[in-house]
Amino acid sequence: MTVNVVVCLKQIPNPDLQFQIAPDGKDIRRDALNYKLNGADEYALEEAVRLKEKNGGRVVAVTLGPKRTEQMLREALAKGADEAVRIAWDDPAAFDAGKNARLLAAAVRTLPHDLVLTGVQSDDYVNSATGGLLAGFLGLAHASVVTRVAVQGSRVEVACELEGGLQRVYTLPLPALLTIQFGANTPRYAPLPAIMKAARQPIKEMGPAALGLSGWDAIPLPYAFGVRGLSPPAAKGHAEMIAGSVEEQAKRFAQLLREKGFVRR
């Protein structure tokens, strides 16, 4: 059975950068940032391409964001995606996972899909919410924190990571949505010829109006979400380097524990 896979990708600010709060206090300053593919989504993309290579079918990479996200989509094309779709959405922060999932769901409904893959979480907000919300809006069975995927006819068998190094194996009917865990595979590098080819491939653009969501921002939702303000974490405590011999270090460490109340005097 061939498998049509839609993989949802997110572009995030490079986490190695130093971030500053924007003057309005509701986002970070983005004027000097560079961006990259979200870490967990790299594994989702690789899993999608491997499923295509094993079973046949197509991979469509979908993202939600401004024009700059097309660079990430071309990277996905170079790594094996057959088509790229950008939902034109110019909110640079896009904090609202529910709104994002609704837009993604509207786009996915227009695409053939046996599997929809996302990363387990985003590296910037770490909500782990978009995949589950997307499955709910699409009415799909879903599994989270997936480390192994095997398509078996009209069903898919997945292994999901549990705490303590354990795994649980599930069988889901297709179509289904899976959120892929870090380390589920080894993401590939794109070869230069594929990069050059991807640079010439068209990227399909969809706006909310084309997805039947024109004016939807004015529609009351069952929840209200907004950002009141951002602030850097407060500095807490300090680190102390303990020098001296092992005995002197042990003595000072015990003294610190008593001073902090961790050990009774």
Cα four-point dihedral sign 145, 150, 155, 159: negative
pLDDT-derived band of residue 226, with 50, 70 and 90 as boundaries? confident
In a domain, 257, yes or no: no
In a domain, 83, yes or no: yes
User: Could you tell me what percent of the chain has a pLDDT over 70?
Assistant: 95
Q: Is the pLDDT of residue 189 over 90?
A: yes
Report the pLDDT value the prediction gives residue 221, as an integer from 0 to 100: 56
pLDDT tens profile 104-118: 999 999 999 999 999
In a domain, 184, yes or no: yes
In a domain, 18, yes or no: yes
Q: Is the pLDDT of residue 2 over 70?
A: yes
pLDDT tens profile 228-242: 888 887 777 777 788
Q: Is the pLDDT of residue 218 over 60?
A: no
Report the pLDDT value the prediction gives residue 98, as an integer from 0 to 100: 85
pLDDT tens profile 128-156: 999 999 999 999 999 999 999 999 999 99
- CB-CB neighbours of 137 under 10 Å: 17
CATH code (residue 57): 3.40.50.620
For the stretch 27-56, what's the b/e string if a residue is b when 16 or more beta carbons lie within 10 angstroms of its beta carbon? beeeeeeebbbbbbbbbbbbbbbbbbeebe
Strand partners, 8: 62
Mean pLDDT for the chain overall: 89
pLDDT tens profile 18-60: 888 888 888 888 888 899 999 999 999 999 999 999 999 999 9
pLDDT-derived band of residue 224, with 50, 70 and 90 as boundaries? low
Measure Cα distances from 249 to 64, 226, 256 in Å.
53, 49, 11
Residue in 96, 90, 88 with CA at minimum distance from that of residue 30: 90
In a domain, 233, yes or no: no
Q: How many domains does the chain fold into? A: 1
In a domain, 255, yes or no: no
In a domain, 246, yes or no: no
Supply the range of the domain harboring residue 124. Answer: 3-218
* Average pLDDT value for residue range 158-181: 93
pLDDT-derived band of residue 158, with 50, 70 and 90 as boundaries? very high
Contact between 61 and 47 under an 8 Å Cβ cutoff? The reply is no
pLDDT-derived band of residue 263, with 50, 70 and 90 as boundaries? low
In a domain, 245, yes or no: no
Q: Is the pLDDT of residue 13 over 80?
A: yes
How far apart (Å, rounded) are the C-alpha atoms in residues 76 and 201? 11
* Average pLDDT value for residue range 70-82: 97
Q: What is the DSSP letter of 83?
A: E
- CB-CB neighbours of 11 under 10 Å: 22
* Average pLDDT value for residue range 172-201: 95
| Chain-centroid distance, C-alpha 179 | 9
